[in-house]
Amino acid sequence: MGSQKQTTIKTVTILVRAINKVTGSIYFKVRNGENKEYTVALHKSGNTTCTCKHGENAGNHAHCYHVARCQQAEAARREAEENQRCYREMAFA
């Protein structure tokens, strides 16, 4: 019989989202399931940073689950903004 891989669902709660309008970087304050808080940054250049142990060891290319969750949230936010813009344009057409 083959072994089954267990998947652990890790929770991330986004507490704060802020944009640096000069650099275009987006910053998040997040809390994980262990109640630890970290700061995640999504930079316009594509680099990502996180203050967790894994993120700090990765330099400007953090790929921890905190970064992944913030990237997902930002993608959903952009999609919602685009949909809203399309609906407004249709309403005034």
Q: Looking up tokens 């813009």, which residue turns up? A: 85
pTM: 0.80
**How does pLDDT run across 32-84, given as a tens digit for each residue?**
999 999 999 999 999 999 999 988 887 778 789 999 999 999 999 999 988 88
Backbone angles phi, psi at 54, to 5 degrees: -65, -40
When pLDDT is cut at 50, 70 and 90, the band that residue 3 belongs to is low
Q: Which residue has the tokens 């949230």?
A: 73
